[in-house]
Every structure is written in structure tokens, then in C-alpha cells.
Amino acid sequence: MALHEALIALQTGCSGLLTLKQDDPHFKKRFPTIPYIHQGELEILDRLTQIGRHYRTLDEYVQNILKNKTSGLYILSFAFELRSILQSYLHCLSQLEHECLQNTSLTLSHLTVALTDYTLLFPALVSLINTLQSTGYRGCQILDIIRRSTLDGNTILSSTIKKLLCACHRILIKQITSILTQGQIYDEYGEFFIGLNNNINVEAMGMTTPSISRMTSTVASRSHSPDRGGQSVLQTPQPNSLITPGYSQYQLIPEMLPSYIPLQLADKILFIGESWLLLKNNDDDDNDRKFLLLNPIDYDEQNHLVQQQLYALTLSDDLNMFELERIIEHARIDLSLTLRNLFVDRFHLIDELEQIRGFYLIERGELYTLFVNRTNQLLLNTKKSTNAIENDINEVFKQCLNDLHLETILTNADKFKFKLNFPHSDTTAQEISGARRLLSRTQGLTDNSNTPFDFWSCGWANLSIQYRVKYPMKAFFSENCKQRYNDIFHLLIILRYVQNELNSLWLAFKNKNKNSLIWHLRNSMSFFIDNFQYYIQIDVLEYKYQQLIRSILSSTDFQQIKHLHELFLADIQTHSFMLLSTAYQSIKNILSICVSFCLTIKQQENTINNLDENILRQFGKEFNDEIRLLFGILGMVQKHNALPHLGVFLTRLDFNRFLTNNNGSFGEF
């Protein structure tokens, strides 16, 4: 009878000897003593019953997952593999029952010995599913939990949980294969570590920075079922159940990335997936759209090889990370060479960079000098963006191109449009007041001299360029790169405007004014502006640009070329002090003081010889204060050799150690 009760308990977790209340199967308590069963056998029966209870817990978990098919593919695959383990347990019970029927002299100890492996295995599996349920993790997040459970000295326990991990890895490999070979993500439940970035600003540069968003998608239902060998099979999805966005709309989701998959490897997967997407899809209505149709690239053979190699990884109990990295790196190198030849040789990346240099980096100084002269008052008096004003600005720029006969050099002017990006109306009052307190220096462009003029709220301080990226250059010029170009242009155009104002001041009053204080102050400002402008345009931009072109021509790796381009932009921002907030704020204050000085002098044109010297001395004091602060900051940076080209700029600025001898200023005004 004990064997009979034990076999029932091993499958149900209870028996007639254990349940006092038949209507409450969860109330289980053994009779303290049973006359016809030895006390030792009762203790063995307790241990066997505990195995049965663990089995029931695991079986209920599996049934719940299979009924509620919203847990995701990873949990579903985990449940299918767990069910196969439970089926092997039931098969073992069937064999024991057959043995007991053939040999009635068997004891409970025989059952205990036969089920020794499950005595250790089932408690660990129950603990694992409790952890999965309590954390609420999904998808790739559960891989770390399962993998930690494999790190056990018991080989039976370790090998069994590795089977569960392998089942989840098969889903992971299928998702990696999909994005590597098709540029598509099959991810209905948001479980993969690469997802869609739904907040990308697809219009132009400098508008808003793309924010990180979690992937959301609507796809068709999926089918997932075990085969005869317990292997989970992911059926081929229908076309409408795949996520197929445009290029650069994928993003990494770091919290979904398993700890044993390096971030660098995930970046490579993202790069390969987006690159195949670039080669297979484009939505631009121009001649470039037909280019790949006329010059097809044979990537099917390479994709087939990658699929075979990745499938081979799923046949092993352990995921071979070294082999996975080798496969992905080999695919990346081949694809990167293809893209390099496509961009540099076929789509003329160097020519595109030359166009960007001409517009954003103000490479043609005479063009922008003429542009500044013709739009001076228009942008100075503009406080709000309208389509009419933007159209006027663009028409003036086109006229400047024609007058200087540069339309044959800057041939892609239709892709570059000037935009006015004023702060949104929801900007807080605190931010506005803080900006005006720091930056507003100019008094009176109006008749009321007490009304302050905030230069940083006019059109010059909010002018940007909208670059319409055509296929396939959108793969090279990301939103982040375009934002950086606009930030650099913002500094260069204001610097060019201030330089033009100081020069026009000299031309207008060189024969009229005899006030030496005005010329002393104007010459000091012009000395700083000219040297700073020369430093940025020649020492930084020209040198870094030529270095970038040489590196691109010598490289055979498209990903490396993209990285070099990003380093180029970062170096420009660094050497222009844009990433050094205190120094950059001081430079902006200097520019504001110079504009304020020029506008004040022009406003007092008729009474300039009688201009109150206290106003001029106040300008001189504020200018010297900012120069002293900036000179001190840059001097400390130079001591740490942080910026190689900074020494040349400081040497020019501190000519004959003039600033050093005057405590970092241009002397008394």
C-alpha cells in the first residue's frame, strides 16, 4: 500500500494518507502515526510527496503560460522546454510503476534512489520560476537569471537548466538572424535588446534631439510550438508581422541586453541590421532611388551563410559567444567594405562633405560676408519665425551665390535651407530671465533707451540650416551629427556677424570720430574676434577637415569612417570650447558685449563725439572682465595639454605677453 500511495503522491503531491480534508487539496498534513507503516517509511514518503508537490507547482506554471500566451516568446520557449523535463519525469514514474507491478517486494527506498536527481532538480526549478515571477522580467532580461542558475556544481542540475537556457537562446538567435539578414525585427512583446526609436525627428537638423524611447509596435500574432524532440520552433512570420522601419530608426535598449553580450557586439548587430535595411529599402523620389536597381549588390549568398552559421549555434547546449562574435564581426567587415565602396566611390561622400563644409562650416568666407551684409537688419529685427521671413533669407542667400558665381561650386544648395528656430513658447520664465540676465547687454535699438535689446533673442542668434538628407546619406549623417553641425554653425555665423559689425564700424566712422576711447575699445574687440575666428577656421576646422578626408580615403571600413566623422565633429566642438560650458558662456558674453557696443555707437552716430565716456568705460570694464575670465580658464586648460591647438591661439592672443602683463585684460579704457 505504501508503494501505491507513494506513486500517487509523486504525481499529485498528495495521497489518501496525507489529506485530512478531501474538499481542500491545499491542506496537506500527514497522520502522525500509521500502525501498519514503519516510521522510517513515513519519512521517506514525506520526501517523495515533496517531490510530487514540486512537480505540481511546475506543471501548473507551465499550464498557465501555455493558456495565457501574452508572456512573450522567451517565457513560452522556457515553458515548452520545462514541459519536456516534466514529461521525462512522468516517463520515469511510469517505469517505476511497471517495476513495482512486476516485483512486489520493492520498497520505498527503491523509489527514492531512482528519483534522486529530481530530489535536487525540482526545488531548484521551483526557485527559478519563483524568481522569474517575482522580478517581472521578460524577454532577454530573463537570460541572466537563468544563466546564473546554471552556475552550480551539480552536473545534473547545471545541464538541465542549460537546456532551458538553450531554448531561450534559440529565440535570441532567431531574432538576431532576422535583423542581420533582413534588417527586420520580429518582436511582438518588446523582448529584444534592439527596438524602434519612435521619437526620431525626421525633418531637419537642429530642431529637437531624438529622445530615447521604448519600442512599441503593433504586429500580427505569432505561432510557437515544440517539435517532437522538445525543440521550440519559431514559425516564419507573415510580412505584416515584421517591424521594418526606415534607416536609423532602430536603437539599443540597454536594460534588455544580457550581461554576457558585450555592448560593442550589440552595436555591431545594430549596425549590420540598419545597413542591410539601407541596401534593400529607400523612400526617396530621386535618381538615387534607381541606383541600386541599376547596380544590384549580391548579398543573398552572404546572408545564407550567416543564417547557416547562426543556426549551427542553436544546436549546441551552450551558446558559444566566441563563435557568435566571430560570425558577427566577419559579417560586419564584409558589409562595411561594401558600404565604404558604395558611399565613397559611388555616392561621392567626399563631395557631400565639401558641400556641408561650404554651408555649415562657412568655408567660403566671401559668401557669408556678403550674406551678413544683406541680411543684417532683417535678422536683427526678427523676433519670430515666419515662412515669409525664411523665404526672404533663402532668396538672399541664393542671390549671393549667383553674384559671386558660386552656384557651380555649391551645387546642392536646394538641400540646405535656412530656418529660424526660436525657443518654444513653453520655455520657463526662469530660463528666459536667466538668459537675459547673463547675455543681454545692448541698450536701445528703440527710441526708448531704457528698453534693453536682447541679442540672443533676435534672428542672428536663432539662425540654423535645415539639411535635407537624401538616400543613402541618411545612413551617414545621423540626427546627432546634424545637430552638432548646427551648433557649430550657430557659433560661426554669430562670430562672422560680430566681425562684420566691428569692421563696418571702422569704415563708417574712420574719418568722423576723434574719440580715441572708442577706437581703443573697438580695436581690442576686433583683435580678439579676428584671432578667435582665425583660430577656429584655420587651426581647427581646416586642419581637422583635411585630416578627416585623408582618413576616409585610406579606410576600408564604413563603420570606422562614421566613427572618424563623429570624432571630427566632437573635436571641433571641443577645440571651439563649446563643451567647456564656463569658457563658452564667457565667449558668448564677449560676443554680446561687442554687438552691444557696435549698436550703441551706430545709434549715437550724430552725437558720437559727445558720447558719455562712462558708457564706453562700462563697456570696456565688462569686456575686460570676460577676457580675464576666459584667459584664465584657457590657461588652466593649456597647462593640462588638453587641447593641442590651444597654445597657438593663446600665443596670438597674448602677443608680446600683453595680456599676461595686464592681469589677463587689455588694460584700462
Instruction: Kindly report the backbone phi and psi dihedral angles of residue 287, in degrees, each rounded to the nearest multiple of 5, phi listed first.
Output: -65, -30
Distance (Å, whole) CA 390 – CA 518:
35
Distance (Å, whole) CA 659 – CA 524:
11
Distance (Å, whole) CA 588 – CA 455:
11
Distance (Å, whole) CA 662 – CA 625:
12
Residue 371 to residues 341, 397, 458, Cα–Cα distance (Å):
37, 6, 17
pLDDT digits (tens, 9 = 90+) for 337-390: 888 988 998 888 999 999 999 999 988 889 999 999 999 889 888 888 889 999
What pLDDT shows up at residue 223? 35
Distance (Å, whole) CA 667 – CA 669:
7
What pLDDT shows up at residue 371? 92
Name the grid cell of 37.
507503516
What pLDDT shows up at residue 238? 40
For 348, other C-beta atoms within 10 Å of its C-beta total 13
**Nearby residues of 370 by Cβ (< 8 Å), 6 or more positions away:** 400, 403, 404
Residues of the chain with pLDDT under 50: 1, 18-24, 26-29, 201-241, 244, 283, 285-287, 293-295, 426-451
Break the chain into its structural domains and give their ranges: 349-367+453-662
The model carries a pTM of 0.73
What pLDDT shows up at residue 243? 52
Tell me the three state secondary structure of residue 420: strand
**How do 416-420 and 463-467 pair as beta strands?**
antiparallel
In terms of phi and psi (left: phi > 0; alpha: psi -120 to 50; beta: otherwise), the region of 191 is: alpha
Q: Tell me the residue type at 129.
A: I
Distance (Å, whole) CA 496 – CA 464:
14
What pLDDT shows up at residue 220? 32
Among positive and negative, which fits the CA dihedral 507, 510, 513, 515? positive
| Cα–Cα nearest to 65, from 391, 320, 73 | 73
Give the number of residues written for the chain. 669
How many CA atoms does the CB half-sphere of 306 hold within 13 Å?
A: 29
Among positive and negative, which fits the CA dihedral 477, 479, 481, 486? positive
- Per DSSP (E only), the strands in 49-166 are none
Among positive and negative, which fits the CA dihedral 463, 468, 473, 479? positive
What pLDDT shows up at residue 219? 28
**Domain 349-367+453-662 belongs to what architecture?**
Up-down Bundle (1.20)
Instruction: Kindly report the backbone phi and psi dihedral angles of residue 618, in degrees, each rounded to the nearest multiple of 5, phi listed first.
Output: -65, -40
